[in-house]
Amino acid sequence: MIKVDIKRDNLEFKLDIKLGEFLAIVGQSGSGKTTLLRVIAGLEEARGVIEVDGKYWLMNNQSLKVQNRSIGFLMQDYALFNNMRVIENVTFVNSDLELAKRVLSFVDMWEYKDRYPHNLSGGQKQRVALARAIISKPKLLLLDEPLSALDLQMRIKLQNYILKLHKEFNLTTIMVSHDLGEVYKMANRVVTLNSGKISKVEDIKYDTNSLKAKLIDKSINKNSYELTLDINGIVSKILVQKSIFNKYKLGDLIDLNWSIK
Amino acid sequence: MFESIKSLDFTPFLISFKLAFITTIILFFLVLPLAWWMSQTKSKFKPFIEALGAMPLVLPPSVLGFYLLVLFSQDSPLGKFLEHFNIELLFSFSGLVVASIIYSFPFMLQPIQSGLESLNKGIIEQSFIAKKSSFTTLFRVALPNIKPSLLTAIIVTFAHTVGEFGVVLMVGGSIPGQTKVASVAIYEMVEVMDYKAAHIYSLLMLIISFLVLLSVYIFKTKR
């Protein structure tokens, strides 16, 4: 069990997270989502308690250093070590070459192992960052809008990699995202943050394969549509490929299954 | 012309380069932990340290030279303390090194500090998340990613030390073979109206300075 009960300026968060859970945090910009992840990682200060699997990472003012927590952190801007090749980026965290090969093969990046980050595309960089985040077999994997800089196809591909890794490595994952389609596809539970406080906790029990969203608005943006969808009362904007969504009119119910395939 | 070059004493040049070499090495290792701390800290003392570190940029060399003269003199507490160890900083090469370290301090600190500050904070944090110490992070992650800033710091510090005049003259005097550096030698040649020797020395300094700066900019363009 992971217990988080923290307070700092503009953030108050109390929640128990089960081991193996995939928790999503949503909320508007400035609602404290990223700060929450950074506090859990030990990159920002806070008061309160963070207990992970029986070990205190934070107990009032006693805070365990980042180095002594067991964290994998996937950031939006990849934050790869540009002076190291793909393989070195991963083995810098854990020198186990066999595991590095397994993890990089898992995200289809083993064949790029000798490249430097500046010779990789955004999606490839994020896959390396993902491999690097999980090679230490962290107790907690933190994902801070990890896919928001990528195009739709790459997002879908990476969502699947993350889900596969979450299961394969039996990880407990907390993901911050703006994309509700992504959240409903991946998480077991969604927490909505509003001005630094939990405003809603929702278990995702239904089958995402049959989840419907009502199309409220759509606008054309080069080769894609920006759709405004109503998913179970929560309004979200999503970018999608034009060809697939030409047929839908405002008010239509859309099967969210599209984002899973 | 060649005869006059041959007959010239190039010892001041050698002293200048020896001084610059030693100063640059000491300053590099002295400044590194400070620059790293400054780039990471949120301390309220940071502006004070920054202002103090930048002082040699704005102070007239004579002011700095005067205070160092007072500080190094045998009547000062530091002078008295060092006397116990038979170390005399005034009018000695060691004194020149100490004075140069102070005088060239901002030229080493500022490029390294701004290089470290411009680094993506994420990569430093990822290194910490990977359970690496500050030391490992500095040498394996931070420094390899700011090579142009390191080169600028090293070259500019070296060149600036070769070019010092006022502080060196006040602290070191002009003892041939010990503290008489190239810039002081040129000044003395002009004073005795030996323009030919002054020309040769000055031209050499000009060419060396240009080549040093050219190499920095070529390296930066290549990256």
Q: Give the pLDDT of residue A164.
A: 86
| Distances A30 to A35, A167, A190, A195 between C-alpha atoms, Å | 9, 31, 18, 7
Q: Do B145 and A68 touch (CB under 8 A)?
A: no
Number of C-beta neighbours around residue A21 at 10 A = 17
Q: From chain B, pick out residues whose CB is under 8 angstroms from the CB of A80.
A: 123
pLDDT confidence of A146, banded at 50, 70, 90? confident
pLDDT confidence of A244, banded at 50, 70, 90? low
Q: Give the pLDDT of residue B111.
A: 95
B219: pLDDT strictly greater than 60: yes
pLDDT confidence of A259, banded at 50, 70, 90? very low
Could you list the beta-strand ranges (E) of chain A.
2-8, 11-17, 22-27, 47-52, 55-59, 62-63, 71-74, 140-144, 173-176, 189-194, 197-203, 212-221, 224-231, 234-241, 253-255
Residue of A nearest to B145 (CA): A83
Of A251 and B135, more confident = B135
Q: Do B145 and A82 touch (CB under 8 A)?
A: yes
Q: Give the pLDDT of residue A205.
A: 63
pLDDT confidence of A184, banded at 50, 70, 90? confident
CA dist., res. A114 & res. B33, Å (int): 32
Q: What global pTM score does this model have?
A: 0.80
Q: Which two tokens stand for residue A21?
A: 């859970």
Q: Do A83 and B122 touch (CB under 8 A)?
A: no
CA dist., res. A239 & res. A253, Å (int): 17
CA dist., res. B51 & res. A91, Å (int): 41
Q: From chain A, pick out residues whose CB is under 8 angstroms from the CB of B125.
A: 41, 43, 66, 73, 79
Q: Do A81 and B122 touch (CB under 8 A)?
A: no
* ipTM score: 0.79
Of A134 and B5, more confident = A134
Q: pLDDT tens, A22-42?
A: 999 998 888 889 999 999 999
Mutation site, A77, A90, A92, A132, interface B, largest B CB count within 10 A: A92
pLDDT confidence of A82, banded at 50, 70, 90? very high
Say if CB A77 and CB A145 are below 8 A apart. Answer: no
Of A140 and A149, more confident = A140
Number of C-beta neighbours around residue B110 at 10 A = 20
Q: Give the pLDDT of residue A260.
A: 38
